[in-house]
Structure 1
Amino acid sequence: MSSGRSPSDVAYIGMEVLIAVSSVLGNLMVVCAVVLNRSLRDTTFYFIVSLAVADVAVGALVIPLAILIHVGMETYFYSCLLGVCVVLVLTQGSIMALLAIAIDRYLRVKIPMSYKQVVTPRRVGMAVVLCWLVSFIVGLTPMLGWNRQQPTNGSLSDSGGGGSNLITCRFENVISMDYMVYFNFFGWVLPPLLLMMLLYVEIFYMIHRQLNKKITVNYSDTRRRPYYGKELKLAKLLVLVLFLFTVSWLPLHILNCVTLFYPDCVKPNEAIMVAIVLTHANSAVNPIVYVFHINKFRTACRKIWDRYILCKDPVGQLPQKGSQRGWSPEGRLRPFNQNTIDLGTLIQSKFEG
């Protein structure tokens, strides 16, 4: 392993460090915004928090590991395999969270009247646990034997030294491409992505059908357009999140398919680095998307930034429905005075009448 680094290596490591910092800070902001702001405690945002937790782990764990792998870290086979499996678990966790979000939005549009009876907080919690359980099973499968360990000597040919168990930790040195392509990609990445696309097509169809209905004077009809208009706006945002995830991860999976089906094909090292950076960059993009498209989320993030990062003395806390905490004394008195005046005016009008 040479001590000198090429310009492409330096650029790769610099990009990874920048993405790691952005991913951790941005997604921690997402989690804090939902935890501290009651108006964001919606079922969809619970799944968004699950997605953000996976993205925080990408910035804090996966990217540092990717840098160590890139510089040629030598370690034991199963230590390297465990690190790679962590990446697979977190990737699958992101996919399952996106699928849960799509199903949640579908139910919200399909059964708006009975949605709250069907999608209860307890069921949402169970869904989050189930998503992560599936992710751990899929991601840790190589640890159970579906890997590239040689049964004869327990190490790969590039481990150096017949009696040494140390190997150069590389993704392709420990992970079977059969597992990555047939089981992971064709089994647990592509089908959920296709299902999500079908769900969002159906969501847009149902929303447009409701919005194009002839409006009557019924009370339910007057409330229908604002409700479905809001659903349409959020559905567009979530489709953007899904699109960015797909664009970020497909290049790496395509390279894995090339490795399996065309083993003699030489893949440029720069193409591999770009594909890896794209997968990691996706973890830092989602908070930016939320800030630009969700007003309540943008307000909550700004207040968190001012209070906890810039240490400004806030006039009030995060917006809470039905809460008067953090108001100034004048703010506390104002509703009381207004109610008193309104009551006096009402009494006076009664007497005059």
Structure 2
Amino acid sequence: MRFHQAVTLTPGQMKYSDSAPPTCDPVAVSPWDIALCVTGTLISCENAIVIAILFYTPTLRAPMYVLIGSLAVADLLAGVGLILNFVFTYVLKTELATLIAVGLLIAAFSASVLNILAITVDRYLSLYNALTYHTERTVTFTYVVVILIWLVCIVLGLLPLLGWNCLRDESSCSICRPVTKNNAVVLAVTFLLIFALMMQLYLQICKIAFRHAQQIAVQHHFMAISTTKGVSTLSVILCTFALCWMPFAMYSIVADSSYPIIYTYATVLPATCSSVINPIIYAFRNPDIQKSLWLACCGCFPSNISLRPRTSSDV
């Protein structure tokens, strides 16, 4: 995915001295591209740790951990995609490399967003169907959902390679070449719909949590504190998700390749930072994952880590 604008030189503009052979000027590396590459490296390292913990800890096999693992894989691929995009932009510079990079980024970030939606739905169902959740939401069912998510995202990632690109018509490019303007608008509108659905689900989660707090009069004080903390956490999750992705989604709808490139970078970088924040929100805050991480690093874990079993409704 290339953000810089192409410059075309006519034969009359390419003049060389008769006494010296033509030389290739060194390509100036954009600091924005360096920032994206560094972000991709950080994303890859973070999510590789999450995947390793989930893979080597047999007790972390519940449906919610399958979804967290799928999210980590998506973000890991997004990080790898950012690194490859930097390499392809400044080293290979071929159309095929560009299409591979943009396809990987589209598939990875789409999978990241859809996995976050799946985690939100899982949390809602664990509260709405609390009595039957553990019998209905089996690991097999969760794997089927994850496979469907990845199939959809792989198809989206293959579209640029199958001809859905603007390499032959630069005027149809979006702010992220070689994605066409129409494709970018469709992806952005889909994201806005997903965000609206997430907001609705989290509002329902808050209502159910408050209703449970009122029904348990004996634990009213404890539940009130717990519910308030949960609502605060949900607010942080939604605000973080919106701040990372909303600028890029809105800008993709209104802008095209003729807009100043600085605005594209300014909206793309926060969107990529969502994959930096996701492991912190969905993985490293989880006491079970914290215990596994402490055990892997030093063979013990602090006594202040909760030993209470986690459920999908925990936020």
TM (norm. structure 1) is 0.67
Aligned 8 A contact 1:210 1:228 in 2: no
Would you say 1:283 and 2:283 are equivalent positions?
Answer: no
Give the distance between the partners of 1:27 and 1:225, measured in 2 at CA.
Answer: 37
What's the CA shift for 1:289? 3.3
* Partner residue of 2:255 out of 248, 252, 259: 259
Is 1:55 the counterpart of 2:75? The answer is yes
Q: Over the residues paired in the alignment, what is the CA RMSD in angstroms?
A: 3.4
Decide whether aligned partners of structure 1 residues 315 and 119 sit closer, same or farther in structure 2, where only a CA change above 3 A counts: closer
1:194: how far off? Answer: 0.9
One-letter amino acid of the structure 2 residue matched with residue 175 of structure 1: V
Residue number in structure 1 paired with 2:241: 245
Give the unaligned 5+ runs of structure 1.
Answer: 158-168, 217-221, 307-313, 322-353
From 45, 49, 53, the counterpart of 1:33: 53
**Secondary structure of the residue that 1:143 maps to in structure 2?**
coil
Determine whether 1:67 maps to 2:63.
Answer: no
Q: Distance in 2 between matches of 1:209 and 1:82?
A: 49
- Whether 2:29 is the aligned partner of 1:3: answer no
Spell out the pairing of 1:9-158 with structure 2 (5 A cutoff): 9-10=30-31, 12-60=32-80, 62-68=81-87, 71=90, 74-76=93-95, 78-150=96-168
- Post-superposition Cα deviations, 1:34-57, rounded to whole Å, max 9, x if no partner, equal 233355433222111101001111
- Change in CA separation of 1:49 and 1:241 when aligned onto 2, cut-off 3 Å: farther
Counterpart pick for 2:187 among 172, 177, 184: 184
Equivalent position amino acid for 2:165 in 1: N
Alignment-derived partner of residue 207 in structure 1: 209
Q: CA deviation at 1:184?
A: 1.4
One-letter amino acid of the counterpart of residue 5, structure 1: A
Name the SS of the counterpart of 1:208 in structure 2: helix
Cα distance in 2 for partners of 1:117, 1:295 equals 24
Q: What is the CA distance between 1:291 and its match in structure 2? A: 6.4
Contact 1:98 1:242 in 2 (8 A): no
**Contact kept in structure 2, 1:290 and 1:298, CA below 8 Å:** no
Question: Could you tell me which amino acid in structure 2 is paired with residue 298 of structure 1?
Answer: Q
Unaligned runs of 5+ in 2: 1-23, 308-315
Cα offset for 1:129?
Answer: 0.4
CA contact (8 A) 2:111 2:150 kept: yes
Q: How many residues align?
A: 279
Give 2:49's aligned amino acid. M
Q: Which amino acid aligns with 2:206?
A: F
| Residue pair 1:148, 1:175 contacting (<8 A) in 2 also | yes
Offset at residue 109 of structure 1 (A)? 0.3
Q: Which amino acid aligns with 2:241?
A: F
Q: Which amino acid aligns with 1:274?
A: A
For residues 229 and 47 of structure 1, the distance between their equivalents in structure 2, rounded to whole angstroms, comes to 28
4+ residue segments displaced more than 6 Å:
224-232
Change (3 A) 1:237 1:35: farther
1:279 to partner: Cα distance: 2.3
CA distance in 1, matches of 2:62, 2:231: 15
Q: CA deviation at 1:119?
A: 0.5
Compute the displacement of 1:290 (Å).
4.7
CA distance change for structure 1 residues 21 and 211 in 2, over 3 Å: closer, same or farther? Answer: same
| TM-score of the superposed pair, with normalisation by structure 2 | 0.75
Deviation at 1:211, TM superposition (A): 0.4
Contact map agreement 1:103 1:199 (CA 8 A) in 2: yes
Deviation of 1:72 (Å) = 8.1
CA distance in 2, matches of 1:36, 1:230: 31
Alignment of 1:295-310 (within 5 A): 295-306=287-298
- Closer/same/farther in 2, CA of residues 20 and 138 from structure 1, 3 Å limit: closer
Counterpart contact for 2:191–2:249, Cα < 8 Å: no
Moved more, 280-289 or 126-135: 280-289
1:194 corresponding residue in structure 2: 196
1:100-127: per-residue Cα shift (whole Å, max 9, x none)?
Answer: 1111111100011111121011101101
Q: Distance in 1 between matches of 2:82 and 2:198?
A: 27
Q: In 2, Cα distance between the equivalents of 1:109 and 1:225? A: 20
For residues 39-96 of structure 1, the C-alpha deviation after alignment (integer angstroms, 9 at most, x for no partner) is: 5433222111101001111222x112332465485212x4422321211111110111
